[in-house]
Every structure is written in C-alpha cells, then in structure tokens.
C-alpha cells in the first residue's frame, strides 16, 4: 500500500528535499501551504528539484488549528513531518510573539490534530541545535542540558518538550530530530552560508565588491540538507519513537566557511568581507558541535557531504542563478528600455 505523508514547511529548504526523497521512496506527498499574495514564487524550491507537479498542496496554517484538523481528517496521513516554523533566529527578536505562535504553539496544534484525527500516524518534530545555545557540554548529545539563547530557540524548546509530552501522555509515535545546521543551494538567502555564496557570486560577476557580515568567529556544525532529511524519514521507520541528534561532528568558524566559498571562486575573502555591527545578535550561540553516534547506531545514519563539497556546490549554483538574473535584466532593458 502506498504510504501518505503530510509535510508542513513544504516550501522551505528541508520540505523540498524531504518531498523529493519521499516521492522517490514511492510515497504520496501532501504539503501544507499557507495562502500567499506571491503564490507564483511559492514553489520555487520544488521547481528547482523538478517535483512541483508531483506534490499535492493543501491549504492551511500552523496557527489555524481548524485547518490542521480538517487536513488530517480529510487526508488520513500515515506520517506527519512538522517542518514549518519561523526559522530565522534574527527575526525572532523582532517578532518574538509570532515566533512563539508558529514555532511553539503551531507544533501543539499539529500534535492535537493528529491526536484527534489520526492517532495511529507517526510524527516528526523538527527540533534544533539552537536549543543548546549557551552550551553546557563541549560536544552536544541527546542528554546535554538545553540553554536557549533566542526567542526562536525558546520556542523550539517548547515544541520539543510538547512533542515528548504527547508521546508520553498519549502513547503517540512522536520523534524529534535535534538537527544541527544544514545547508544547500536551496537554503534561504538570509542564513549565513547562502548569504556568503550569493555574495561570492555577485562579487565574481561584478555586481558588487563588498559583503557585510556579523560575527565571523561563531562556530557551527554544518551538514547538507539532502543528507539530513534521510534521518527524519529513518526516525519514523523505527518501532519505538525517540529523539536523535543529527550532526556531522565537526565544527567550523564562519570565517573558515567564508574562505572555502571565496577561494572556490578564485577570490580573496579579506578583499571583500566587512564586519557590520548591524548583523551582530543580541545574544550569540558561540559554538555548536553535535555527537551523532546514537543516530549512527540506531538509524544507521551518517552525514555523507563535507562542508567543502557543499560550499562549492552552493557557490556554483549561485553563479548560475546570478548569471541568469543578469541575463534576464539585460533582456528586460532591451525589450522595454
């Protein structure tokens, strides 16, 4: 029998890669999308992966419980992947209430819809390494205490614990992946890796000469999104639901990550990068490094793409994208003056 999966956050980075992976595995894939005045751009990432015609879109919003109940009732999904969130840490200081509503209470809404309508389904919660924040142990595992450092991280911590609580209270099959940063050519442009690879492409193609960044000394454990969505799926194939750290086990500074990207394009980072205090956060997460040994032992999962390979892939994709933008602008000027 064909399995049916519901993905929230379908239009984001992970939603697109997860949808592609599940389609390849023979799933029927439904994606929750919220109404937008820019509907024509909604499926850009699915288009990039060539799967926009293969996913069924269902209309709803994480803060509208009635829409989630209706979607679960009408579609009876076997697996539910909750990837929707206000996921940009910086915006969580300017929109703390919305972040709490979507990222924290949105998870409760979806768990509640599952409990009422499809209690036999399996649920994945997108937890985050940001929950470790001011790290309490040098390498973070499933047993490391949390210390969130932003409204986003606080909201994710609530969502994490409500997922655990629904598993324990109602005997539901709910698992959380505590995922460390993962990137790709489909990463949102506001996140630092993609901001850098887009900046490198713009400098290389002569559109600008400078790239303004914040804290270059922050360290992250960066992996590839296409790898990480496989771990999400693997968690829901286990008989017993549980929580898992998903990471590479290697940490790198923002500065080193930049150097990889600039040198791939034959550029010298020092000639172009400027530190702008506007991008320094009110409270920083200085260093993250995950211990993925449980995921390897139980799920047989491990990261397959190193940071160098991923940054090169992202720079190459942005060179294509920015080159295409330049061509389109030229064509527009020629046609309309």
Q: According to CB under 6 A, which one of 4, 20, 61, 104 is a site residue for ligand NDP?
A: 61
Answer whether 170's CB lies under 8 Å from 119's CB: yes
Q: According to CB under 6 A, which one of 21, 43, 87, 92 is a site residue for ligand NDP?
A: 87
Q: Does 214 bind ligand GDR (CB under 6 A)?
A: yes
Backbone phi and psi for residue 212, each to the nearest 5 degrees, phi listed first: -95, 125
Does the annotation count 166 as an active-site position? no
Q: Does 281 bind ligand GDR (CB under 6 A)?
A: yes
Does the annotation count 28 as an active-site position? no
Q: Does 279 bind ligand GDR (CB under 6 A)?
A: yes
Q: Does 34 bind ligand NDP (CB under 6 A)?
A: yes
Q: Count CB-CB contacts under 10 A for residue 59.
A: 12
Size of interface with ligand NDP, in residues (CB under 6 A): 26
Q: According to CB under 6 A, which one of 43, 181, 248, 259 is a site residue for ligand NDP?
A: 181
Q: Does 221 bind ligand NDP (CB under 6 A)?
A: no
Q: Does 125 bind ligand NDP (CB under 6 A)?
A: no
119 vs 188, beta carbon nearer ligand GDR: 188
Q: 93-112 mask for ligand NDP (x: CB under 6 A)?
A: ---------x----------
Q: How far apart are CA 152 and CA 93, in angstroms?
A: 8
For 81, 122, 212, 282, 297, the CA distances from 278, given in Å and listed in that order, are 35, 42, 9, 10, 42
Backbone phi and psi for residue 79, each to the nearest 5 degrees, phi listed first: -135, 140
Query: What are the residues whose beta carbons fall under 8 Å from the beta carbon of 252, sequence distance 6 or more?
Result: 219, 220, 221, 222, 307
To the nearest whole angstrom, how small is the minimum distance from the Cβ of residue 106 to ligand NDP?
Answer: 6
Does the annotation count 152 as an active-site position? yes
Q: Are strands 79-82 and 56-59 parallel, antiparallel or unpaired?
A: unpaired
Question: Annotated catalytic residue: which of 128, 129, 150, 175?
Answer: 128
From ligand GDR, ligand NDP, none, which one binds at residue 67 (CB under 5 to 8 Å depending on kind)? none
Answer whether 163's CB lies under 8 Å from 174's CB: yes
189 vs 320, beta carbon nearer ligand NDP: 189
Query: What are the residues whose beta carbons fall under 8 Å from the beta carbon of 6, sequence distance 6 or more?
Result: 30, 31, 32, 58, 71, 72, 75, 77, 79, 80, 81
Instruction: Kindly provide the b/e burial profile for residues 214-235, where b requires at least 16 CB atoms within 10 angstroms of the residue's own CB.
Output: bbeebbbbbbbbbbbbbbbbbb
Q: How far apart are CA 179 and CA 303, in angstroms?
A: 12
For 42, 75, 307, 328, the CA distances from 84, given in Å and listed in that order, are 14, 18, 25, 32
From ligand NDP, ligand GDR, none, which one binds at residue 102 (CB under 5 to 8 Å depending on kind)? ligand NDP
Question: Annotated catalytic residue: which of 27, 124, 132, 152?
Answer: 152
Q: Does 15 bind ligand NDP (CB under 6 A)?
A: yes
Query: Contact positions toward ligand NDP, by CB under 6 A?
Result: 8-15, 32, 34, 36, 61-63, 83-87, 102, 126, 128, 179, 181-182, 188
**Residues classed as catalytic:** 128, 130, 152
List residues binding ligand GDR (CB under 6 A): 87, 89, 128-130, 180-181, 190-192, 195, 213-215, 218, 220, 254, 279, 281, 284-285
């Amino acid at each position: 029998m064909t399995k049916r999966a519901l993905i929230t956050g379908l239009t984001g980075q992970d939603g697109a890669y997860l949808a592609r992976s599940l389609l390849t595995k023979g799933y029927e894939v439904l994606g929750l999308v919220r109404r937008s005045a820019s509907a024509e751009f909604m499926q850009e990432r699915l288009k990039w992966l060539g799967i926009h015609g293969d996913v069924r879109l269902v209309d709803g919003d994480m803060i509208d419980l009635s829409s989630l109940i209706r979607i679960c009732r009408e579609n009876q999904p076997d697996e539910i992947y909750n990837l929707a969130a206000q996921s940009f840490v910086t915006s969580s200081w300017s929109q703390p209430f919305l972040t709490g509503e979507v990222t924290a209470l949105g998870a409760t809404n979806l768990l509640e819809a599952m409990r009422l309508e499809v209690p036999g389904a399996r649920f994945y919660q997108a937890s985050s390494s940001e929950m470790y924040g001011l790290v309490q142990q040098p390498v973070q595992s499933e047993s490391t205490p949390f210390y969130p450092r932003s409204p986003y991280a606080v909201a994710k911590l609530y969502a994490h614990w409500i997922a655990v609580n629904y598993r324990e209270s109602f005997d539901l099959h709910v698992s959380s992946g505590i995922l460390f940063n993962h990137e790709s050519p489909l990463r949102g442009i506001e996140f630092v890796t993609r901001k850098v690879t887009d900046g490198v492409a713009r400098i290389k193609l002569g559109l600008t000469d400078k790239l303004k960044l914040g804290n270059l000394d922050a360290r992250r454990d960066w992996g590839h999104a296409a790898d990480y969505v496989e771990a999400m799926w693997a968690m829901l194939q286990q008989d017993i639901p549980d929580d898992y750290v998903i990471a590479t086990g290697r940490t790198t500074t923002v500065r080193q990550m930049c150097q990889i990207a600039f040198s791939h394009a034959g550029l010298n980072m020092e000639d172009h990068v400027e530190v702008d205090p506007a991008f320094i956060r009110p409270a920083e997460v200085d260093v993250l490094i995950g211990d993925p040994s449980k995921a390897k032992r139980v799920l047989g999962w491990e990261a397959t793409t190193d940071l160098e390979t991923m940054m090169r892939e992202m720079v190459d994709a942005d060179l294509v994208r920015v080159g295409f933008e330049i061509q389109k602008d030229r064509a527009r000027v020629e046609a309309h003056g």
